[in-house]
Structure 1
């Protein structure tokens, strides 16, 4: 016990000195260590959950092979007398299943599979190979991730700009009929099921023909960059509008409530008593204090956008990381599922670290590392 305490003290002493010398750097280092621990536990849990799921990818491959062979034999009329596979075929299939499981490493416990995968990622920077397409997982993610990042960044920018504009503006109109109506519709669309809203949007596109029913052009950017830009804007407008309507309501109400709370603070009355114009009171003083709750919740907003884009990408056939994740889960492609989950989780955790840093820069009252 004394040895353990002594070891902990030897670790804690240089860390405390580093924390006092560079509090922000120590905070970032601590959050990065926490992020790595969380990612490790997430990967371990994912491997365990995939192990608990009934069947695996080899069972699906063998079932598809058996069904295709049965369809082929029935169509050609070559059926066995008993209508069943022979014992020799059953033995062959069982050996083939065992051979495939050994090839994919599925014959070992899930924790052994996880540590082998972790060792390959850390030492060789290799995310593995997709068990279905046999393509490198890094290539599959790289080909889809930028589509999802672009979609969610556009949503985040528009939600942020309009939320601040509407929240600040309608906080000055609090209690009026217009403010009541806008607050009602913001609450309505915020509570409206996003899945149903996406389905209604696609039905609108199919009936009217104004917008495409898919959210991505049928040609690449390299073929015609300018034409692709206009076509992409046309394709993405409707699903982007649904994402915007669903996200702007809650953020706008939060900013409006924060502005109203700030306008009742004593320093606002002091500023007005000094003859400061109402425009400066709103924009230079009260508005700055609305940044704190938004920055704190921006990482959660980004996470909700990524999780919501999963449904959007499936319904509108958008080639993003969410759709890739869905296909990997349905096919039980463990390498692709794990890499997708870890990548999205890392993005969300990095967003939280960035939001904490921005919060310290915006609010001078926050000083990490100070007692």
Structure 2
């Protein structure tokens, strides 16, 4: 197990460098750069753009250097100094911007992931164990709706229902009366009142596919000879279900952790944008629109690194749960 873990960690190092390079190049794909966007916006406002001003900004942010120099400066500062650079759009350090939005991003993402994981596990097991029942059909319909309906559309419908029929404020993190207030129980409850709907949308978007995968794998396991033999020896149905088939069917379920961890960080860009939440999702969207290379590149880089880490965690958990995976390590 230790040898396998060391080998996987060693493979992560070149992978992280590769994804950092891809993250940096993605920001460079659109024509022009951040200064091009600034120049266009100033010209739309009727302001005169001085060439000397643009040249000074280009030299300040090293935009006059080759791409490889810009990339190496960026990645070396991150690795050696933890410096993600300066955001052009906000004129602030990228690390400060990320630190401000991290608590809400992590809180919303982790809570949505944990709730979705529990709901999908319970619903998938019940749906497979009581297949073709009334509740199984209801779970199937809801799961397909969760997969088919875009998250931003669910967010818009939910906001409309919340405002039209219940008269509750929608969007943002606080009501107008609590926006500038000091933290107290009322402000905390107001925050939770604004966050339950985004959490529900995020749960609905991720739980449907997981339920279907778990149900299909569990049904496949329930038809195998070892289950029939265990049932013939008189093992009760609940113990039989939880001891053997569920453990094997959990493999694809556990594998989704590799995707869920980066999803916690990016905050589901469209959903957070619709709700007006101050997570990293809208921050990334604005950075991409304005070609804010350090901000957008840093968010993409962190998401990619979390994907690699999530994949490693998934592999380790699979080895713990499934003895066949451990046997393949030898």
Query: What TM-score, normalized to structure 1?
Result: 0.80
In 1, the alpha carbon distance for the partners of 2:312 and 2:180 equals 33
1:110 aligns with 2:67: yes
Query: What CA deviation, in whole Å up to 9, does each residue of 1:281-307 have, x standing for no partner?
Result: 122332222222211123234445656
Matched, 1:120 2:71: no
Matched, 1:335 2:294: yes
Counterpart Cα distance in 2 of 1:39 and 1:225: 42
Please name the residue that 2:17 is paired with: 40
Q: CA deviation at 1:203?
A: 2.4
Select the residue among 96, 117, 122 that pairs with 1:165.
122
What's the CA shift string for 1:178-235, capped at 9, x where partnerless? 3233313321331122232222222223323444321412658993253343222210
Shift of 1:104: 0.9
Structure 2: any 5+ residue segments left out of the alignment? none
Answer yes or no: is the 8 Å Cα contact 1:47–1:111 preserved in 2.
no
Q: Which residue of structure 1 lines up, in the alignment, with residue 35 of structure 2?
A: 58
Q: Partners in 2 of 1:228 and 1:352 — Cα distance?
A: 38
Shift of 1:335: 0.8
- Per-residue deviation, 1:30: 3.1
Extract structure 1 runs of 4+ deviating beyond 6 A.
none
Partner of 2:90: 133
Partner Cα distance (1:210, 1:368) in 2: 58
TM-score in terms of structure 2 length: 0.89
CA contact (8 A) 1:205 1:211 kept: yes
Give the length in aligned residue pairs.
Answer: 328
User: CA shift at 1:99, angstroms?
Assistant: 1.4
Contact 1:44 1:111 in 2 (8 A): no
In the alignment, is residue 349 of structure 1 matched against residue 308 of structure 2? yes
The 8 Å contact of residues 190 and 247 in structure 1, kept in 2 or not, is answered as yes
Give the structure 2 partner of residue 226 of structure 1: 185
Residue matched to 2:161: 204
Greater C-alpha radius of gyration: 1
Cα distance in 1 for partners of 2:188, 2:127 equals 34
Distance 1:191 1:131 in 2: 37
> How far has the Cα of 1:105 moved from its partner?
0.5
Alignment of 1:21-100 (within 5 A): 24-68=1-45, 70=47, 93-100=50-57
**For residues 251 and 26 of structure 2, what CA distance do their matches in structure 1 show?**
37
Q: What is the distance in 2 between the residues matched to 1:49 and 1:293?
A: 30
Take 2:79 and 2:146, find their aligned partners in 1: how far apart are those partners?
A: 44
- Is contact 2:147–2:205 with CA below 8 Å preserved after alignment? yes
1:260 aligns with 2:237: no
What per-residue deviation string (whole Å, max 9, x for no partner) do you get for residues 312-346 of structure 1? 11110111011111121122111111111111111
Residue 175 of structure 1 and its aligned partner are, at CA, apart by 2.1
Separation (CA, whole Å) in 2 of partners of 1:221 and 1:290: 49
Deviations 1:63-120 (A, max 9, x none): 44445464xxxxxxxxxxxxxx7xxxx7xx1122111101111011111101111222
CA distance in 2 between partners of 1:269 and 1:259 (Å): 14
* Counterpart for residue 312 of structure 1: 271
Q: Quick one: distance in 2 between partners of 1:366 and 1:109?
A: 46
Mapped contact 1:48–1:111 kept (Cα < 8 A): no
Question: How far apart are 1:363 and its partner, in Å?
Answer: 1.4
Give 3-state SS (helix, strand or coil) of 2:325's partner.
coil
Give the match's secondary structure for 1:290. helix
